[in-house]
A and B are shown apart, each in its own frame.
Chain A
């Protein structure tokens, strides 16, 4: 069976808002498509797997970000290399911020990120919390929930993941959410995002397959038809909920 190695980055500290669901969803979908998913849960100090086909990271509390900070600096170069090789990545909220250039705290301190995305984030006294609906050129309507105090700005023109229909996303002004660089995706969408937006999951899986096996064809699966039917209904229902 064709194996796909998935790296779940800093699971213990950076899966505080349900983002571990993305790991479950990717593994299940990989299985349904006939792959053998192997998930590596990586936490500070752990050894890095020899081979990585996909990287998933989530949101954490400020204290969680502090816990992983030193280790992330050590792994920064490795992760940047993987991203530039086209390894698909999905970084939510806190990890999205740390995959940018830096995070400017309320006290004016600059916390360096690992610069996979050419963007930066500034702490804001106001926390942005609520349902988030956006329209993505590549993926259609994406829905989820945002909960962040950082406001993210692009340093150079980047393709956002989506245009915000309802909610805020990157910051209070730009009307965009998330960013894309190669096959790395950053976003503020929790939910977990892959639950109601399976098209994103399939993008990550296709790119992982391409990187490892040189093809990107996913055989249709009846089990997934049922799940995706539910996902479409959940997406529809969530997009109508008040903020």
Chain B
């Protein structure tokens, strides 16, 4: 039975999947169940569904920036006129992808779209690649993250390297990450494109090694290399990208220099697709579309932040930005790249499995740009407060209860910035949206 189903999208699994999806919606349950059922029922589902997309599939993988980068690519491609199939924010296991495909499919198993763009969890990406080798793989970075889940970073590097070797058409790599850079040649027949940053910006993008070396007073290694797309300069909310011989300076929809680097990744990813698909310009379907570097860069610049990734809210007369931080490199780059002056700061740290049960990593963050912190909250509020105090940063209040912590943080209006781990971000976001709604204002449109 299973063998027979192997390479055709069985209407049966599609019908079952779609029915379960319908039921889940009615019951207001999570969205991964239908994907899980179809994954068990039909091992060939991914390949038969994604095999239908004429321009292929791109997967986005790495420790930091997956959600934002996948969003930048898929929305920019949509701005450029393509029909893009993508997974929802954070639904980055294979079952999440299957669920998102089901909702785009006809009952007969036809998938509508030109191209697929999916963010994939590091551990699930090799599983995905075994079922369906993607046309394009974009690898962002490889740093210490969730060591309680992976044991070692070397294990993550091996997984990412596997993903890089599976790409069939194009490989997009971060030249500024030594481990990712080394994946070149892992898939010899593909078009490999690098993106990176100007050496002058390297203090903004520390690697794990830099965070340790700097404690010794050693300068971080300057990285860069020749790149198809380079983040050249940053000035406020504007980013300059060098693409080939041209330079484009654009006001950006996303915030923080690490997201500007994700934008360089997105531009590079799209241009890699353009390079690999010569008929993109010739065919009738895409006639009149503009895939020039300028058009691509502009499309990427217009995309707004993903869920919880540099989103902002208005509540109680305050303007509040929420930034997800979950590992030393991510937190340190956020502190270096977001303007902190004049803003009150809150840090929230939970230790659920989605956050990482081990909070030791907070001691490897470079807090030197930080001044005082007004509120620290979450299940590990006291760990966070202690760490900040040992780093010489005064903490006004440590309150493990997030609702109480947030109330203290918002006690007077102003510019505010919240750094939060994943599950505490979900709670904070919910509370802030409620505060917004109570004033009858809808400040965040999901898309």
Contacts and interface: CB of A to CB of B under 8 A. Distances in A.
A230 B360 contact: no
Contacts of B389: 226-227, 230
Contacts of A24: 363, 390-391
Given A12-B209, A145-B358, A129 B151 contact: yes
Nearest to A129: B148
Given A230-B385, A233-B382, A234-B382, A25 B212 contact: no
B154 A241 contact: no
B124 interface: no
A187 to B, nearest CB: 13
A131 interface: yes
B357 A131 contact: yes
Interface in A57-77: 61-63
A147 B359 CA distance: 12
B364 A12 contact: no
A44 interface: no
Interface residues of B, number: 34
B398 interface: yes
B132 to A, nearest CB: 30
Contacts, number: 107
B390 A237 contact: no
B79 interface: no
A63 B154 contact: yes
Contacts of B112: none
B154 to A, nearest CB: 5
A130 interface: yes
Nearest to B351: A241
A7 to B, nearest CB: 13
A16 B144 contact: yes
B114 interface: no
B352 to A, nearest CB: 9
A196 B213 CA distance: 25
Contacts of B385: 230, 234
Residue among A18, A61, A131 with most chain B CB within 10 A: A18
B151 A28 contact: no
B400 A237 contact: yes
Contact of A237 (B153, B154, B380, B387): B380
A227 B388 CA distance: 10
B363 A12 contact: no
A166 interface: no
A196 B385 CA distance: 12
Contacts of B379: 237, 241
A241 B358 CA distance: 11
Nearest to A236: B382
Nearest to A227: B389
Nearest to B144: A16
Nearest to B328: A18
Interface string A125-156: 00101110000000000001101010000000
B364 A20 contact: yes
B2 interface: no
Contacts of B358: 17-18, 145, 147, 190
Contact of B382 (A11, A28, A230): A230
Given A226-B389, A230-B398, A237-B382, A21 B363 contact: yes
B276 interface: no
A41 interface: yes
B41 interface: no
B151 A147 contact: yes
Given A41-B216, A237-B382, A192 B360 contact: yes
Given A62-B152, A190-B360, A195-B383, A28 B390 contact: yes
B360 A19 contact: yes
A149 B216 CA distance: 30
Contact of B215 (A16, A19, A41, A61): A41
Given A20-B215, A41-B215, A61-B153, A145 B363 contact: no
Contact of B212 (A15, A129, A131): A15
Contact of B151 (A23, A149, A227): A149
Contacts of B380: 234, 237-238
A195 B390 contact: yes
A237 B387 CA distance: 15
Interface string B374-413: 0000011111011101110000001010000000000000
8 contacts: A12-B213, A127-B151, A129-B148, A147-B147, A195-B387, A227-B390, A230-B382, A237-B381
Interface of B: 144, 147-148, 151-154, 209, 212-213, 215-216, 351, 357-364, 379-383, 385-387, 389-391, 398, 400
Interface of A: 11-12, 15-21, 23-25, 28, 41, 61-63, 127, 129-131, 144-145, 147, 149, 190-192, 195-196, 226-227, 230-231, 233-234, 237-238, 241
Given A231-B386, A241-B351, 18 more contacts: A16-B147, A16-B152, A18-B358, A20-B212, A21-B390, A41-B215, A61-B152, A61-B153, A130-B357, A145-B358, A145-B360, A147-B148, A149-B151, A190-B358, A230-B386, A233-B382, A238-B380, A241-B357
